[in-house]
Amino acid sequence: MPKESFFKNRIKSVGFALKGLFLLLRTEPSIKIQFFIALIVTACGFYFEISSTEWIVQVLAIGMVMGVEGVNTAIEKICDYIQPNLDPKIGFIKDISAGAVMIVSVLASIIGLIIYVPKIF
């Protein structure tokens, strides 16, 4: 069987990634909420005409929250697959993963406050 080209492999990889993104958005309530918040904050960015630097920081913050939420979801799904029953060790892993989402979410909220509070008041 001939080996597929690098270009074809990259196209397949992008396809798998897009499939994962749509699965995440379609099946996970927390990412739906975060996506909705991202849309609101993006609209606020246009309304308040934030600077290029503020856009960069805002987009990075949104990306970090949604990316870490995706990793958290993957960790939870793997844990549930490995151990479907209640297990304190699995609970510990899931709690740490959720804590990582909380850290980036709090930091993203602080970034939002730094950008928008001076524009609102």
Above 90 in pLDDT, residue 7? no
Determine the Cα–Cα distance for residues 95 and 79; give it in Å rounded to an integer: 11
Above 80 in pLDDT, residue 101? yes
What CA dihedral angle connects 50, 32, 28 and 103, to 10 degrees? 40
Determine the Cα–Cα distance for residues 40 and 72; give it in Å rounded to an integer: 23
Q: Report the alpha-carbon angle 76-79-81, nearest 5.
A: 110
pLDDT at position 5, please?
Answer: 86
The confidence band for 4, taking pLDDT boundaries of 50, 70 and 90, is confident
pLDDT, tens digit (0-9, with 9 covering 90-100), for 46-89: 999 999 999 999 999 999 999 999 999 999 999 999 999 999 99
